[in-house]
Structure 1
Amino acid sequence: MSREPMRILCLAVGLLLTAACGEGESLSVSAPPLRLAPGRETRLTVQVQRAGITGDFFLRVSGLPDFVEARTSRVLDTKDTALILFRVVDTVPAGTQVTARIEVFNAAGQRAATDVPVAFDVSGGAVDPSFGVGGSRSLPTPDNLGVCGAATTPDGQLVLARAYPSGYEVSWLDEAGTLLHTTPVPEGRSYATAGEARCGLAVASDGAIWLSGTFATDDFQLGLLVTRLLPDGSRDPGFGRGGILRIDPVSSMGSAFLGPGDLFVLPDGRALVSGLGQRKSSLLRLLPDGTRDGAFGEDGWVFITTEGAAPRLFPLPDGRFLTLVQVLRPQPDSPSSMGRYPAVLRFLPDGRRDPSYGAGDLNPGLEREGGTVAGAMLEPDGALMLSLRHRGELLRLTPAGSLDRAWGTGGYRKLLPLPGMITQPPLDVLVRLEDGRIASADWGSAGKVRVAFVFTLQPDGTVTPTSREGARNAAFTARPSLPLGTDPNYRLERPRWLFPLPGNRGLLVSDLLEDRRDKEGRWPVVTDVHLARFFL
């Protein structure tokens, strides 16, 4: 077979492809398989084998999707390796796998190439770089009381309500985290502690926003404030008076009004609002124009004897709804002493109690917890999952209101402290992901560092993988924070809401608190609202 005396065709095998080279010269390139994760920079070392060839070579990468960036370096004359830096800059479609071609070449036209399989890891707390800047963004809100309500719209927008001593603000953000517009509600007044502000916020089927809060009455008491905003942020002129409804519930409740609770909107446009009074809680149903619904309770009102916390509301598809409250009951070990206990009640659409649910005011399984429920999550089948503060436990109630003894260990799942955490997390947030796992977010102390974290549990409440290091890497995501005591005004991130999103992602809404200190004392202030989107 004839050939040119100074040029041959060098054939490569395996991953090594062809290179045009002279007699006695050879060139090949190889690299291991690549695995990329959103929000993380990944380094790939490329091996270049050459014989009889001098001078610098260049790298080129092709075959990557638009959501992956690659930065290449030169292969120096004295080196046999080079680095390529990869970064995922946008959302990764589920199941994506590609093959990248890595090519080395020089000015003389000598070249070699190899194909590298690329897989994507979008689990374990990796940030979603398509949101904000690098997966997160902050909304400066100086000297406010924090996020008091959050909701998502059917088209993917995020709606936030922030509380100030002088009123409320409602803001809309698009899917990428860009602020669209903000509407002030100066008629309100909030007196909550920073980081603990609460208001009702819900999105109606027509895109309108309902907000419930408080206002100051003429005699310096608190009243119930409800407003309805249109999707563009303007007030609904057909609601109340100019979009605002002020209600003084004292005469109806027979006790002082202390603050708002939950709010949800029915498919027909009516809204149910809960509120807290002194040893009594209120449920109020309003028509779309703000008038009280006479078909509910007594002139729109239902009152419950409770203690210490506004009712949480969970609507059911058939028009009934669950209410999570606190009640006073004799303590099991000391019947003469009264204690606060959680209770779950079910109501019929007309506001009457549903006697077929649970066992009276105290549900089986809740009698062992003398305190408050930290988090609660309504399951698609009508079951309710609760996290018990101070005990580090989850429990599950059946759709009928009894303890689900087929779940966990007799209806309970004990959670050991997360890797690196000093105590059990109280699990203030519980949501169900697409694949059935449970996601939660909270804050606590990890050694000498105060952190916020997001983690996932299996559908049965177990943490996987079971190894300590594996759980740290796959189920624990710490947000940046400062060690205690290193800054007199150190910042603490406190998660308030976690929204499940398609693709097993989560959107975390947190308050960033700062401790202000002077010679007169120390007090917390919320300086920013922090938003972060994760792959879970």
Structure 2
Amino acid sequence: MPVPLHALLAATLALAPVPAGGLDASFGDRGKAYADFGAGRDTEIAADLAVTGKGQVLAVGTVETGGVSRWAVARWRRNGALDHGFSGNGRAVTAIGDSDAAHTVELRGSGRSLVGGTSDGRFALVAYRADGTLDPGWGTDGVVTTDLPAGAATVLDLLLLDDGSVLAGGIAGDRLAVAHYGADGELVDVVTSAHPFAGTVNGVEVQPDGSLLATGVGVTDDDGVRGVRTEWVDAAGLPEPGFGTAGGVTTYAADSEGNLGNVVRHQPDGTVLVGGSAYGPGDYRYQMLLRYLPDGSLDPSFGRGDGYTDDLFDYYSQADDLAVQDDVRIVAVGWAAGEDPHRVAVSRYTAAGVLDASFNGKGYRTIAYGEGSPTVASSWSEGRAVALAGDRIYAVGGVRFGVGKHDVAFVGVRLGR
């Protein structure tokens, strides 16, 4: 039987090489895929993603309607179409409490996943089976929530251990917190930091030894400027004595009027990467990456020679997530805004912290819905998370369809690397 022409074209596209920074035309609509959770939503935004061994893209985040927020999960097939083998239509909305938000996801094998976030101010974890239904072997009907006495709590990172147990890291009140759960979701232990975080936490990374790296924005100094604040606490919740001063460091970009960190990544060589932004002068916002040596001092071999790099893709730009390739080049995802609509921004840096010109010819690419289309435009789109799989870069976030419209959806993007 002859193979249909459309199947041959799809196979050809799937196998075609994609240049670094180029949108993968074999994925969704010219490299972009969408998951709309229904009309009337005020917000639909993906916060994290995972790529399965089958090439499926699992995105997790939050949908909100009338002030009520819910846990949301979407799965796309390898070609960017919604996977109807997941929850019947590729989308699942899970209500845990009255105010829910999903922030992070990890794969558990055999198509299963574990998602972490918050529900009514509690640590929350939800386990899904491959078909999108809740996993009854985890917690109570697939759900675990944990009250932390330090205050309102949110899971921001998950780490699955070899024995099947889970470390969930995040923030509780003004303290960093790590909870250890058994393979069935039973709570084993909770550790909160001995001292408050000196500022506001935006991102954390759980380490295999149970220690926790966190970054955010520090307290205001005498000149009214807030710096990037990064702290490291050990498995007992005590400051890592070898990192910075009492386990923390605050960094101010030159001539900046404010700085923030959104994502932190510990590297195999002991260095620590942080991504975020620096403000102004002139009311500009620059995407900023920093690299610290193991002792918390800025790495003089990185960026401009002073440990950080700040790049302006438009009037405003910011990094919200980072991934590091095997060749140690750094991929950042976030957003850029200015005269053009607010857009997803994906950039790549060399190991030395310099924009990599082999990526889209200039080191970055900004992406709006309708790019290349004369009829469809977007008033707003934003990247929140990035993942690497094979020779592709994947990013997820949110999109608002049409200038002046309020239809919103998860967005997924695939590019060559």
> So what's the TM-score if we normalise by structure 2?
0.77
Amino acid at match of 1:324: A
2: distance between equivalents of 1:303 and 1:181? 42
Q: Secondary structure at the match of 2:37?
A: strand
Residue of 149, 155, 177 corresponding to 1:282? 177
1:293 corresponding residue in structure 2: 188
2:112 corresponding residue in structure 1: 208
2:320 corresponding residue in structure 1: 428
Residue 190 of structure 1 deviates from its aligned partner by 3.4
Q: Does 1:186 align with 2:95?
A: yes
Residue of 212, 227, 241 corresponding to 2:126? 227
Contact (CA 8 Å) 1:204, 1:267: kept in 2 or not? Answer: no
Contact (CA 8 Å) 2:24, 2:30: kept in 1 or not? Answer: yes
1:451-488 superposed Cα distances (whole Å, 9 cap, x missing partner): 333232222122244xxxx98744343323589xxx9x
Residue 273 of structure 1 deviates from its aligned partner by 2.2
Amino acid at match of 2:344: A
1:313 corresponding residue in structure 2: 204
Structure 1: stretches of 5+ with no match in the other structure: 1-65, 70-86, 94-121, 192-196, 217-221, 518-523
Q: Secondary structure at the match of 2:278?
A: coil
2:301 corresponding residue in structure 1: 406
Taking the TM superposition and a 5 Å limit, the aligned residue runs for 1:106-185 are 122-142=18-38, 143=41, 144-164=43-63, 165=68, 167-178=70-81, 179=83, 180-182=85-87, 183-185=92-94
1:137-185 superposed Cα distances (whole Å, 9 cap, x missing partner): 2111231432133223344332222323352232333322231313432
1: distance between equivalents of 2:79 and 2:196? 44
Inter-CA distance 526–382: structure 2 relative to 1 (3 Å threshold): farther
Contact (CA 8 Å) 1:326, 1:342: kept in 2 or not? Answer: yes
Amino acid at match of 2:315: I
1: distance between equivalents of 2:217 and 2:246? 12
Q: Does 1:394 align with 2:289?
A: yes
1:412-432 superposed Cα distances (whole Å, 9 cap, x missing partner): 2433423xx234x22223222
1:93-142 superposed Cα distances (whole Å, 9 cap, x missing partner): 6xxxxxxxxxxxxxxxxxxxxxxxxxxxx324222233224322211123
Amino acid at match of 2:48: G
> So what's the TM-score if we normalise by structure 1?
0.62
2: distance between equivalents of 1:236 and 1:261? 21
1: distance between equivalents of 2:212 and 2:303? 23
1:254-296 superposed Cα distances (whole Å, 9 cap, x missing partner): x3x15442222222222222343443343222222222224x6
Contact (CA 8 Å) 1:281, 1:306: kept in 2 or not? Answer: yes
**Greater C-alpha Rg:** 1
Structure 2: stretches of 5+ with no match in the other structure: 1-6, 280-285
Q: Does 1:508 align with 2:398?
A: no
2:282 corresponding residue in structure 1: none
1: distance between equivalents of 2:105 and 2:278? 28
Q: Secondary structure at the match of 1:372?
A: strand
1:528 corresponding residue in structure 2: 409
1:44 corresponding residue in structure 2: none
Amino acid at match of 2:50: A
1: distance between equivalents of 2:360 and 2:57? 30
Inter-CA distance 411–88: structure 2 relative to 1 (3 Å threshold): farther
2: distance between equivalents of 1:67 and 1:379? 42
Amino acid at match of 1:149: D
2: distance between equivalents of 1:407 and 1:344? 20
1:201-226 superposed Cα distances (whole Å, 9 cap, x missing partner): 2223565322223334xxxxx33332
Residue 373 of structure 1 deviates from its aligned partner by 0.5
Q: Does 1:354 align with 2:246?
A: no
Amino acid at match of 2:243: Y
1:473-511 superposed Cα distances (whole Å, 9 cap, x missing partner): 44343323589xxx9x962111111212222x2112120
2:283 corresponding residue in structure 1: none
CA RMSD of aligned residues (A): 3.7
Identity of aligned residues (%): 19
Inter-CA distance 362–526: structure 2 relative to 1 (3 Å threshold): farther
1: distance between equivalents of 2:305 and 2:30? 43
Amino acid at match of 1:223: R
Amino acid at match of 2:93: P
2:385 corresponding residue in structure 1: 497
Residue of 309, 312, 317 corresponding to 1:417? 312
Amino acid at match of 1:381: D
1: distance between equivalents of 2:259 and 2:13? 45
Amino acid at match of 1:415: D
Inter-CA distance 407–189: structure 2 relative to 1 (3 Å threshold): same
Residue 526 of structure 1 deviates from its aligned partner by 6.2
Inter-CA distance 186–377: structure 2 relative to 1 (3 Å threshold): same
1: distance between equivalents of 2:127 and 2:388? 25
Residue 390 of structure 1 deviates from its aligned partner by 1.8
Inter-CA distance 141–172: structure 2 relative to 1 (3 Å threshold): same
2: distance between equivalents of 1:339 and 1:232? 45
2: distance between equivalents of 1:283 and 1:389? 26
Taking the TM superposition and a 5 Å limit, the aligned residue runs for 1:70-89 are 89=13
1: distance between equivalents of 2:331 and 2:227? 28
Residue 367 of structure 1 deviates from its aligned partner by 9.1
2:266 corresponding residue in structure 1: 378
Contact (CA 8 Å) 1:329, 1:341: kept in 2 or not? Answer: no
1: distance between equivalents of 2:16 and 2:384? 27
Amino acid at match of 1:456: R
Contact (CA 8 Å) 1:464, 1:475: kept in 2 or not? Answer: yes
Count, aligned residues: 385
Amino acid at match of 2:32: S
2: distance between equivalents of 1:162 and 1:311? 16
Amino acid at match of 2:138: F
Residue 533 of structure 1 deviates from its aligned partner by 1.0
2:167 corresponding residue in structure 1: 272
Inter-CA distance 382–270: structure 2 relative to 1 (3 Å threshold): farther
1: distance between equivalents of 2:86 and 2:249? 44
Contact (CA 8 Å) 1:148, 1:199: kept in 2 or not? Answer: yes
Q: Secondary structure at the match of 1:234?
A: coil
1:90 corresponding residue in structure 2: 14
